[in-house]
Amino acid sequence: MIHLIEAHLPVLDRKGEEWDHMFTTAYQCGCEALIALGQAEETGRGARPLAHPRLPDSLPRWDDICVTVLSLAHQRGLLSYRLPDGRESPGGAEWWGRRAGETMPPPNIMAVHGLGPAWAAPQVLPVLRPLGLIESGQWTVTAKPVLWRKEPQEWDLDIAADSRFQLALDRAVNEMPADIRRRLDGLVAITEADVTKGLIRREAHQQGLRAEHGVSRVIGLPLTRDSVRQGLICLRIHDLDWLFFSNWRLADGWLSPTERQRAMEIWHDSLAIRMRRAVVAQLYPDRPEFSK
């Protein structure tokens, strides 16, 4: 698995002495995984191999590593999620720059457990098996919550209707740590003072841009209290998502301090976003703008 990640991260130069994450999610997670696995050190643009790599005593979470492998393989065209009939979606073909109707290999991972079919390259299959994601040419039961975090659009998954999701929602609400609840309460509350401060900051920012580039070259929409409030809502939703990315997993619920240390920063986590929406909708039904 380490070799697969190393082999498919972009390199910063021809010498290949550093990996460049290119500010792309899959590559950023790949670099983070190598660092968490004691194989590399962080750099400004990604990661640099260590002269003496060594697995740490405390390994990163299995599910986070699985998501990283799936993300990187998909980004590099080594994993293709397929439509129910085995065809590649038009969007997938466009993503990899293939011609419409181009013949693609049939799926070698079969649909099961509510998950759809997929094709994985020969170098990826030997990694997915020991990770426990596939067995006998099909997805395993344990792969299901991992793939929920990717939520391939080709499969049209109805995650929120699954009983396991509903049980996790009840647990997330009823077993919420006090510090998490305080942070949630603060994030969904936007006061008039918050709006005033935001308006002042944005006006100052626009004035700074005009002073630097000239009034005629800086065109912005008129600032209003409502537009500032909408901007604050977007920022708060981003922070709410990160609260779940960093502190919640389906298998464990809210993570203990020790598990938080082992958790990787997996963003664009579809399952965590769905849970954030459901939790906020249940706890704060009068603030639907935060459950979008």
What is the model's pTM? 0.91
* Cα–Cα distance for residue pair 258/176, rounded to 1 Å: 17
CA dist list (Å): 83 to 117, 119, 157, 160:
7, 11, 12, 21
Q: What per-residue confidence (pLDDT) applies to 221?
A: 65
Q: What per-residue confidence (pLDDT) applies to 16?
A: 67
| Two structure tokens written together for 291 | 């459950």
> Average pLDDT for consecutive 10-residue bins of the chain (292 residues)?
96 82 96 97 94 96 98 96 92 73 88 97 97 98 97 95 96 98 98 92 77 69 87 96 98 96 94 98 97 94
* Cα–Cα distance for residue pair 190/230, rounded to 1 Å: 10
- Paired residues of 49 in beta bridges: 40
Q: Which residues 6+ apart lie within 8 Å of 194 measured at CB?
A: 232
Give every strand in the sheet of 40-42, ordered side by side.
19-20, 46-49, 40-42
Q: Which residues 6+ apart lie within 8 Å of 144 measured at CB?
A: 113, 114, 115
Q: What per-residue confidence (pLDDT) applies to 216?
A: 66
Q: What per-residue confidence (pLDDT) applies to 217?
A: 65
Domain assignments of the chain as residue spans, ordered by start: 2-157, 170-291
Q: What per-residue confidence (pLDDT) applies to 89?
A: 87
* pLDDT tens-digit series, residues 93-135: 777 777 766 778 999 999 999 999 999 999 999 999 999 999 9
Q: What per-residue confidence (pLDDT) applies to 215?
A: 67
Q: Which residues 6+ apart lie within 8 Å of 12 measured at CB?
A: 18, 19, 20, 45, 46
* Cα–Cα distance for residue pair 36/68, rounded to 1 Å: 12
**CB-based burial label for 71 (10 Å; 0-12, 13-18, 19+):** buried
